[in-house]
Amino acid sequence: MSPLSLTHRDTVAGPVLLVAGELDFVHAAELRRQVEGLVLHAGQCLVLDLSGVEFCDSTGITALLAARQHALAAEAEIVLAAVPAHLERILTIVGLVQVFTLRATAEDT
């Protein structure tokens, strides 16, 4: 299994987190920890670039929901960018495509 790798950069609009690897039982907690450590200001937008996600299970979804919770608590927005097809299918099944804002790329166009 490829482990999870998280790359963080800041833009004018807010932090962008590049998530690559596996969001599974073993690794999802890492994403959760990292996201909850991000400082978000009201009006900012947290972008999770999921283009590199190879696998996501229910604990991965939990981490995404926790990220959303974290953003909402700071009155910030959250965007899932470059969601791979398999992950989009999962998000559809669990009914989260309507809940999250999905965008084709991490860059705000």
Partner 1 sequence: MGCARRVPADLNASPGPTTGPGLRSAPGAGDAGAPVGETWRHAPYPVLVADRRGVLTGLNEAARQYLPRAARGDRLRDLAPSWLAEAHHRLAEARSPGGGDVPAGHLGDRFFEAHPTPAGDGRVVWWLIDRTDALQAETALHSARTRSEMLSGIASTLLSTLNVPRCMEVTASLAAQHLAEGAVLIAPPQGRRHQLTYAARGTGAVQVTQQVDTRSVPGLAEALQGFPPVPARWLNPDDIPDWLIPEGFTGPVGSVIVTPLPGHGVPAGALVLLRSGTEKAFTEGEEAFARLFAARAGAALSAARLYAEQSAITATLMRELLPPKLGSVHGVEYAGNYRAATDQERIGGDFYDVHPGSDPSRETLVVLGDVAGKGLDAAVLTGKIRNTLQALLPLADDHQRVLSLLNGALLSSHQTRFATLVLASVRRGDEGVHLRLTSGGHLPPLIIRADGTVEEAPTHGTLVGALPQVRARTIETVLAPGEICLLYTDGITEARGGPLGEELFGEERLRRALAGCAGMPAEAVVEHVQMLAFQWLRSGGHDDMAVVAIGAARSGGPPTVAGAKDGMNL
Contacting residues toward partner 1, per CB under 8 A: 1, 25, 55, 57-59, 61-62, 65-66, 69, 92-96, 98-99
Residues in the chain: 109
Give exposure, 5-38, as e/b (b: 16+ Cβ within 10 Å).
ebeeeeeebbbbbbbbbbbbeebbebbbebbeeb
**DSSP 3-state helix, strand, coil percentages of the chain (rounded to 5)?**
30, 30, 35
Nearest CB to partner 1, comparing residues 70 and 106: 70
Nearest CB to partner 1, comparing residues 8 and 86: 86
Question: CB 59 → partner 1: shortest distance, Å?
Answer: 6
Nearest CB to partner 1, comparing residues 59 and 101: 59
Question: CB 71 → partner 1: shortest distance, Å?
Answer: 13
Taking the C-alpha atoms of residue 8 and residue 10, their distance in angstroms, rounded to an integer, is 7
Question: CB 10 → partner 1: shortest distance, Å?
Answer: 25
